[in-house]
């Protein structure tokens, strides 16, 4: 077995998303990663605290935009103000990871880089730490991702199929994007199929080498201008880049991929529906976040409110979210249209202030 690298890894937390599916708590200038969703900490703070179990604060970086950097430092003034990788515009995950790798190579040499998203539910933390420590063994052999054993036929996640065992994980045979329900049912019955939670580990030189090989259209404009003399030059370089996920740009093309099975519980906190999997529920499958709640002939409801008491009488499958200025009431079926609703609201000048 390879020796566990002794140096402290660098962690990149991806925190640039809009989080529209968590409106009205998530707004353009203060999206869900800066909100308290399932605990008394923001999603980003939950992620930072997890990262502190595997590295030191000075080696944790946040990938985001300039506006959100200011908001992040308002909420967490103790976070190092210089530890941000700022993207001029959102171009999915491949460009920001490429830019970060160039920066970390210049600053640290060839460190282990761990990429996390700022909007995941992970429990218990000690199992997260143990899994990451195990996965670091594999970075000497290539790029590593974690895999989560599915417990339901989820159509909103990507899947990984594994091959032969390695020192602490498996080789990766193939990636499968969001399947339909029937296909997802087949996947969860297979022992070698896992959810892809988007947690990556690799040596900086490894990811840059694979970007050079499989995605020169992304690495090239960044590498040619790096280190950028000013933000305007970086902005010009970003305008040349496609919007592409690291999964399709690199992971699905490389033959240097390993997977390590996660021993923790994981959930993508993607929409209000995810609260039913995170919050405790009653026998009628009602899930509540707030002070007091009372149900009478009510089932399948999800609520996150600020009132002293909310009551559900004779209703089922409702989602109720209360903010100081907005009350959202939707059905489970309707919540999938929240982005379309927000797009429609943006056309109304009176309503725009409730979005930003």
pLDDT in tens, 246-268: 999 999 999 999 999 999 999 99
Percent of the chain with pLDDT over 70: 98
Pick the CATH number of 10-267 from 2.60.40.790, 3.90.550.10, 2.40.100.10, 3.40.50.150: 3.90.550.10
What is the arithmetic mean of pLDDT over 121-144? 95
Per-residue model confidence as pLDDT tens digits over 296-347:
999 999 999 999 999 999 999 999 999 999 999 999 999 999 999 999 999 9
pLDDT tens-digit map of 33-69: 999 988 899 999 999 999 999 999 999 999 999 999 9
Question: What's the whole-number mean pLDDT along residues 163-185?
Answer: 94
Q: Which whole number is the average pLDDT over 278-286?
A: 95
With bands split at pLDDT 50, 70 and 90, how would you rate the model's confidence at 1? very low
Question: Distance of alpha carbon 143 from its chain centroid, rounded?
Answer: 18
* Residue 174 near residue 146, CB atoms below 8 Å: no
pLDDT, residue 5, reads 55
In 10 A of CB 224, how many CB atoms?
9
Whether the predicted pLDDT of 190 surpasses 90: yes
Distance from first CA to last CA of the chain, Å, rounded?
A: 51
Whether 2 shows a pLDDT value over 70: the answer reads no
Q: Beta partners for 295? A: 312
Distance, in Å, from the CA atom of 168 to the CA atom of 8, rounded to the nearest integer, reads 20
Q: Give the DSSP per-residue string, 120-148.
A: EEEE-HHHHHHHHHHHGGGGGTSEEEEEB
Tokens describing residue 68: 């959100």
On the CB side of 346, CA atoms within 13 Å amount to: 11
In this prediction, residue 6 carries a pLDDT of 65
Confidence of residue 167 (pLDDT cuts 50, 70, 90): confident
Evaluate if residue 245 carries a pLDDT over 80.
yes
- CA–centroid distance for 92 within its chain: 11
| Bridge partner residues of 313 (DSSP) | 296
**Residues 232-241: tens digit of each pLDDT:** 999 999 999 9
Is-cis flag, bond preceding 227, omega within 30?
Answer: yes
Q: What angle do CA 149, 151, 155 make, to 5 degrees?
A: 95
- Domain spans of the chain, in order of start: 10-267, 272-354
* Confidence (pLDDT) at 7: 80
Mean pLDDT (whole number) for 117-131: 96
Given a contact cutoff of 8 angstroms between Cβ atoms, the answer to whether 312 and 295 are in contact is yes
Residue 300 contacts residue 316 (beta carbons within 8 Å): yes
Asked whether the predicted pLDDT for residue 243 surpasses 60, the reply is yes
For range 24-30, the mean pLDDT: 92
- Give the whole-angstrom CA distance, residue 17 versus residue 102: 22
pTM: 0.93
Per the model's pLDDT, the better-predicted residue between 2 and 351 turns out to be 351
Separation between Cα atoms, residue 52 and residue 343, nearest integer Å: 38
* Average of per-residue pLDDT values in the chain: 95
Distance CA 354, CA 356 (A): 6
- What is the structure's pLDDT at 285? 97
Q: Is the pLDDT of residue 3 over 70?
A: no
SS3 31: coil
43, 274 Cβ separation under 8 angstroms:
no
């Amino acid at each position: 077995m390879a020796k566990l690298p002794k140096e402290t890894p660098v962690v990149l937390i991806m925190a640039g998303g809009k989080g529209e599916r968590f409106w009205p708590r998530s707004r353009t200038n203060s999206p869900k990663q800066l909100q308290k969703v399932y605990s008394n900490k923001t999603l980003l703070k939950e992620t930072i605290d997890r990262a502190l179990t595997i590295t030191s604060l000075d080696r944790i970086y946040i990938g985001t935009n300039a506006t959100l950097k200011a908001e992040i430092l308002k909420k967490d003034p103790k976070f190092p103000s210089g530890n941000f990788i700022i993207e001029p515009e959102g171009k999915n995950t491949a460009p920001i990871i490429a830019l970060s790798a160039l920066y970390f190579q210049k600053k640290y040499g060839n460190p282990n880089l761990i990429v996390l998203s700022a909007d995941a539910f992970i429990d218990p933390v000690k199992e997260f730490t143990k899994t990451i420590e195990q996965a670091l063994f594999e970075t000497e052999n290539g790029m590593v991702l974690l895999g989560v054993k599915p417990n339901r036929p989820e159509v909103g996640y990507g899947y990984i199929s594994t091959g032969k065992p390695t020192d602490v994980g498996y080789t990766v045979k193939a990636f499968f994007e969001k399947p339909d329900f029937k296909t997802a049912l087949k996947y969860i019955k297979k022992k070698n199929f896992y959810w892809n939670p988007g947690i990556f580990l690799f040596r900086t030189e490894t990811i840059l080498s694979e970007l050079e090989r499989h995605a020169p259209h992304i690495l090239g404009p960044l590498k040619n201008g790096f280190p950028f003399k000013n933000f305007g030059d970086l902005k010009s370089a970003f305008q040349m880049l496609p919007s592409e996920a690291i999964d399709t740009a690199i992971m699905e093309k490389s033959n240097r991929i390993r997977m390590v099975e996660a021993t923790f519980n994981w959930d993508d906190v993607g929409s209000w529906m995810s609260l039913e999997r995170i919050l405790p529920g009653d026998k009628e499958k009602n899930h509540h976040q707030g002070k007091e709640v009372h149900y009478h002939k009510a089932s399948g409801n999800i609520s996150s409110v600020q009132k002293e008491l909310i009551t559900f009488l004779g209703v089922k499958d409702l989602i109720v979210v209360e903010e100081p200025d907005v009350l959202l009431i939707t059905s489970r079926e309707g919540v999938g249209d929240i982005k379309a609703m927000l797009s429609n609201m943006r056309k109304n000048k009176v309503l725009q202030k409730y979005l930003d």
